[in-house]
């Protein structure tokens, strides 16, 4: 099984740690940052796709990566959009659009996971 983890911040890092327990899972990552949390902490050595976490960019990555499942672990910090008022509502809308338009199953992972 191929799983694409979108967002390699703190939440994505926790997901990546769990997925690494099963060697039969091929894990791919996408994140716009050069060195997100999961790389800095040594959970993954690199990011497979450096792309913005937007519906259009993510769909392009999905076409290239051909995952069976996408885990959307993005937060406002992962999208690098700053902290203007209402940004959480905007990001939630982006997540919903990504899930609705994708050709593969997408599961949004709660950004409040600790």
Strand ranges of the sheet holding 69-72, from the earlier edge strand across to the other edge: 26-30, 2-6, 69-72, 106-108
Residues 61-93 have pLDDT tens digits of 999 999 999 998 876 565 555 566 666 666 666
pLDDT at 94 over 90: no
Domain ranges of the chain: 9-67+90-114
pTM of the model: 0.82
Task: Quote the strand ranges of 1-114, DSSP E.
Answer: 2-6, 26-30, 69-72, 106-108
In order of 20, 36, 76, the CA distances from 54 in angstroms are 26, 17, 12
Read off the tokens for 48.
């497979």
% the chain with pLDDT above 90: 49
């Amino acid at each position: 099984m191929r799983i694409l983890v979108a967002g390699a911040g703190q939440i994505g890092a926790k997901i990546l740690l769990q997925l690494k327990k099963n060697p039969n899972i091929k894990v791919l990552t996408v994140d716009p940052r050069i060195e997100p949390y999961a790389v800095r902490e040594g959970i993954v050595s690199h990011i497979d796709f450096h792309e913005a976490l937007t519906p259009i960019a993510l769909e392009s990555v999905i076409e290239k990566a051909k995952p069976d499942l996408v885990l959307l672990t993005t937060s406002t910090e992962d999208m690098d959009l700053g902290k203007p008022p209402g940004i959480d509502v905007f990001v939630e809308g982006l997540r919903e659009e990504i899930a609705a338009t994708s050709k593969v199953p997408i599961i949004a992972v709660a950004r409040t996971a600790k």
